[in-house]
Amino acid sequence: MADPHQLFDDTSSAQSQGYGAQRGPSGLGYPTASASPQAAFLADPVSNMAMAYGSSLAAQGKELVDKNIDRFIPVTKLKYYFAVDTLYVGKKLGLLFFPYLHQDWEVQYQQDTPVAPRFDVNAPDLYIPAMAFITYVLVAGLALGTQDRFSPDLLGLQASSALAWLTLEVLAILLSLYLVTVNTDLTTIDLVAFLGYKYVGMIGGILMGLLFGKIGYYLVLGWCCMSIFVFMIRTLRLKILAEAAAEGVPVRGARNQLRMYLTMAVAAAQPLLMYWLTFHLVR
């Protein structure tokens, strides 16, 4: 007979009615006592509740992160800049090293929105700058390693100093755009993309410097500086200067002159920064 205080099911008798029927008398609320010690923990109603609460908490947390990450990092806007394919990247890299023969620098539009980089080689993208930045940090580590000056924290130092210069540049250009009161559709992310293109030239310079010494470094860096200068002028001219000036008609006027100077300043800053961030890596 079932003892009202029994903790365990009595299966000593072969004709036990089975597990379920015996649960009634065990009024202590420990049906898990008859389970294995491991499963006892999971089947215990308290831990069931705890697990359900924990998983709902995790789901809530994930929802919160997903909702709020859109406030700080505009994911859908960023997706536009990563809609690239191999052909575009190849053409863009060619343009960065040799922009002299390219004729049409206008970005094509499709019903008020610029076309994705995949379809237009003039559109800015973030894949190349991001990859170039990471490669620059790794190549800097490699360069320091070949000179026996490497340590893992130097890598972090290089990365953060390059990032700091980039941020400074973006802020300075945004400030000057604001002061000159330019009415432009140049967004911050566009600006970051354009300013990130110089890392490609820097990587080329460092690699040549590693292979061929200082002569190779100066030659390649000089070439890349010229190319980036021309590239930036031709790209920014369409964004910052008024439409009239973009068509090639020289417009006199204080406002346009100021904008010309601004474009020239931005373009000239690129080679300077390229030299500043790489000369200490090549000995």
Q: Are 236 and 264 in contact (CB under 8 A)?
A: no
Interface with another protein, residue 276, by CB under 8 A = no
Among 19, 100, 109, 212, the residue binding another protein under the rule CB under 8 A is 19
Q: Which stretch binds another protein (CB under 8 A): 34-42, 177-185, 260-268, 270-278?
A: 34-42
The DSSP bridge pattern shows strands 113-114 and 109-110 to be antiparallel
Closer residue to another protein, CB minimum distance, 137 or 273: 137
28 is a site residue for another protein (CB under 8 A): no
Query: x/- site string to another protein, residues 83 to 112, per CB under 8 A?
Result: xxxxx-x-----------------------
Q: How far is the CB of 2 from another protein (least distance, A)?
A: 9
Report the nearest approach of another protein to the CB of residue 3 (Å).
5
- Smaller CB separation from another protein, 123 or 236: 123
Sites for another protein among residues 114-133 (CB under 8 A): 127, 130-131
Using the minimum distance from each CB to another protein, give the nearer residue, 156 or 253: 156
Residue 47 within binding range of another protein, rule CB under 8 A: no
Of 138-177, binders to another protein (CB under 8 A) are 138
Does 79 participate in binding another protein (rule CB under 8 A)? yes
Question: What is the token pair recorded at 275?
Answer: 């030299």
Cβ-based nearer residue to another protein, 189 or 269:
189
H, E, C per residue of the chain:
CCCCCCCCCCCCCCCCCCCHHHHCCCCCCCHHHHCCHHHHHHHCHHHHHHHHHHHHHHHHHHHHHHHHHHHHCCHHHHHHHCCCCHHHHHHHHHHHHCCCCCCCCCCCEECCEECCHHHCCCCCCCHHHHHHHHHHHHHHHHHHHHCCCCCHHHHHHHHHHHHHHHHHHHHHHHHHHHHCCCCCCCCHHHHHHHHHCHHHHHHHHHHHHHHHHHHHHHHHHHHHHHHHHHHHHHHHHHHHCCHHHHCCCCCCCHHHHHHHHHHHHHHHHHHHHHHHHHHHHCC
Can residue 7 be called a binding residue for another protein (CB under 8 A)? yes
Among the residue ranges 49-57, 73-81, 217-225, 273-281, the one whose residues contact another protein (CB under 8 A): 73-81
CA 123-272-102 angle, 5° bins: 35
Does 11 interact with another protein (rule: CB under 8 A)? yes
Decide: is 35 part of the binding site for another protein (CB under 8 A).
Answer: yes
Locate 116 and state its tokens: 């994705």
Q: 19 vs 53, which CB is nearer to another protein?
A: 19
Collect all residues with Cβ–Cβ distance below 8 Å to 54 and sequence separation of at least 6: none
Question: Residue 6 CB, nearest distance to another protein (Å)?
Answer: 4
* Total of residues contacting another protein (CB under 8 A): 34
CA distances from 163 to 136, 157, 277 (A): 11, 10, 11
With binding defined as CB under 8 A, does residue 29 bind another protein? no
Q: Nearer to another protein by C-beta: 88 or 229?
A: 88
Binding footprint of another protein on the chain (CB under 8 A): 3, 5-12, 18-19, 34-39, 42, 75, 78-79, 82-87, 89, 127, 130-131, 134-135, 138
